């Protein structure tokens, strides 16, 4: 049992203002494996005030020195990579064979990349008779989710610190232990007190206290669209700057001339990665009606390769979902799909055979889905693929864009050039063409109700920068 009973505020581990605690569950066994403090608005006040005291000095620290601190943090995370991977596998359920590569290496890369960016960034430029300065936005409140917990923290904390901001972090209470490990790494790296602060707790309490706090200059939030709207509403009261990375219902368009043997397994893998708990997952597969039967069989076969099981086993392809609440939500979506008339190709709402313990879901594929069905409209956040047939390319593009979301998407075509032409017509923040590789430096964020702003690389860094012009 891991017992965390303090917050990291002003460079020290301090007792919370209250006595309430929250339980953290092992997603594969349903057992409690950790407890954390449930913070209050009083704890946020202390953390924000510490960040405010630290801001003048930290923002004036030479960028290369800030970068040196970030590089130390990257090295500290590297030294604990195995521990962090084990922790996140328990918290989230991602198979251990993938966790170190996706849940640990990517955050390390964010701290290293922003260490370099702090040094190389053009902090000022001449435009006519004006000197244009780039300055840190101020005190940042970071509110992060549970599906890629440390990576989402790094996407906010690393560029904010590199830009000269100070930070108050509220990680997800569902997967918080990795954030405590990060705080230990930051402390050992010698970051000046108050520059980074950690308070855990519930969103309606701690998250709202961050969004409402008068000294917080910017809130960077990742989570559901519903919660993001609430954050934006609260930030509007003081006109805080806000970045929101929220839900998605991404379309994967399989064009008539696509290589189905490559496209369909890749689409299933993208949908099922992290047990479907990925905001950018291509959960709507749009396919030519003439090839529907062939694609159903390819999808059935691909889904059969994702056998649910113990995420600590090197042979497991599909781990559990993160919580009982999430498991029950996904099961209800599967039941709704059946009720609304979609064809169940494989999977279903029942627990996988032999896995009565743990938050497991069968890898599920629906076909003959129409875009007005619930499973095609709402974000499920589980291993559930909806195959939607179309008759023309124009119809496919219209279906893909017929969603309140616009986070991600994919196109598979016989030629890259044609696939790119289709990709350019999708109202979404990023599109993978013919299995294009993940690029951690490319901007990530959405159109419409998927969010505001971008993360990763130079675009993510500039979310934490203000612009000042001095006329001479």
Decide if 235 is catalytic.
no
C-beta separation of 287 from 321 below 8 A? no
The partner residues of 455 in beta bridges, in order of sequence, read 444
Decide if 279 is catalytic.
yes
User: Pick the catalytic residue: 279, 296, 393, 455?
Assistant: 279
Closest CA to 210 of 57, 59, 58, 49: 49
Query: Alpha-carbon distance 268 to 249, whole Å?
Result: 14
List, in order, residues 6 or more apart from 456 with CB less than 8 Å away. Answer: 110, 155, 440, 441, 442, 443, 444
Length, in residues, of the chain:
472
Specify whether the backbone of 117 is left (phi greater than 0), alpha (psi in -120 to 50) or beta. Answer: alpha
Tokens found for residue 63: 């960028």
User: Pick the catalytic residue: 91, 245, 379, 462?
Assistant: 245
Could you give the maximum distance between any two Cα atoms of the chain, in Å? 74
Query: Alpha-carbon distance 149 to 366, whole Å?
Result: 29
Query: Alpha-carbon distance 426 to 447, whole Å?
Result: 10
**Residues noted as catalytic:** 245, 279
């Amino acid at each position: 049992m891991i017992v965390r009973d303090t917050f990291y505020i002003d460079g020290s581990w301090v007792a919370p203002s209250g006595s309430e605690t929250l339980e953290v569950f092992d997603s594969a066994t349903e057992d409690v494996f950790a407890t954390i403090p449930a913070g209050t608005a009083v704890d946020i006040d202390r953390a924000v005030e510490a960040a405010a005291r630290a801001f003048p000095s930290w923002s004036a620290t030479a960028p290369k020195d800030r970068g040196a601190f970030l590089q130390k943090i990257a090295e500290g995370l590297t030294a604990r990579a195995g521990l962090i991977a084990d922790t996140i596998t328990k918290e989230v359920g991602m198979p251990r064979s993938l966790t170190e590569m996706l849940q640990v290496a990517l955050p390390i890369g964010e701290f290293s990349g922003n260490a370099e960016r702090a040094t190389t960034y053009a902090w000022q430029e001449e435009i006519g008779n004006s000197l244009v300065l780039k300055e840190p936005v101020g005190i940042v409140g970071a509110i992060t989710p549970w599906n890629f917990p440390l990576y989402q923290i790094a996407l906010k904390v690393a560029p904010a610190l590199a830009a000269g901001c100070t930070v108050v972090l509220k990680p997800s209470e569902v997967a918080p232990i990795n954030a405590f490990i990060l705080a230990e790494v930051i402390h050992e790296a010698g970051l000046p007190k108050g520059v980074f602060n950690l308070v855990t707790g519930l969103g309606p309490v701690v998250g709202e206290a961050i969004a409402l706090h008068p000294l917080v200059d910017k809130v960077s939030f990742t989570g559901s669209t519903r919660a993001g709207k609430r954050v934006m509403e609260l930030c509007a009261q003081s006109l805080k700057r806000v970045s929101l990375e929220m839900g998605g219902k991404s379309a994967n368009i399989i064009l008539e001339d696509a290589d189905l043997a490559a496209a369909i397994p890749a689409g299933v893998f993208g949908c099922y990665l992290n047990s479907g708990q990925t905001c950018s997952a291509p959960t709507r597969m749009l396919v030519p009606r003439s090839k529907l039967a062939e694609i159903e069989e390819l999808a059935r076969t691909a889904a059969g390769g994702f056998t649910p099981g113990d995420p600590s086993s090197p042979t497991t392809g599909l781990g559990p979902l993160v919580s009982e609440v999430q498991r029950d939500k996904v099961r209800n979506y599967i039941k709704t799909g059946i009720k609304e008339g979609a064809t169940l190709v494989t999977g279903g709402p029942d627990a996988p055979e032999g896995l009565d313990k743990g938050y497991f879901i069968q890898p599920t594929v629906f076909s003959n889905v129409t875009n007005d069905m619930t499973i095609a409209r709402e974000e499920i956040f589980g291993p559930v693929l909806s195959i939607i047939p179309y008759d023309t390319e124009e119809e496919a593009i219209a279906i893909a864009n017929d969603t309140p979301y616009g986070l991600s998407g994919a196109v598979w075509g016989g030629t890259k050039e044609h696939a790119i032409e289709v990709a350019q017509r999708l109202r979404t923040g990023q599109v993978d063409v013919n299995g294009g590789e993940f690029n951690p430096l490319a901007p990530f964020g959405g159109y419409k109700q998927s969010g505001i702003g971008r993360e990763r690389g130079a675009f993510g860094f500039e979310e934490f920068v203000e612009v000042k012009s001095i006329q001479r």
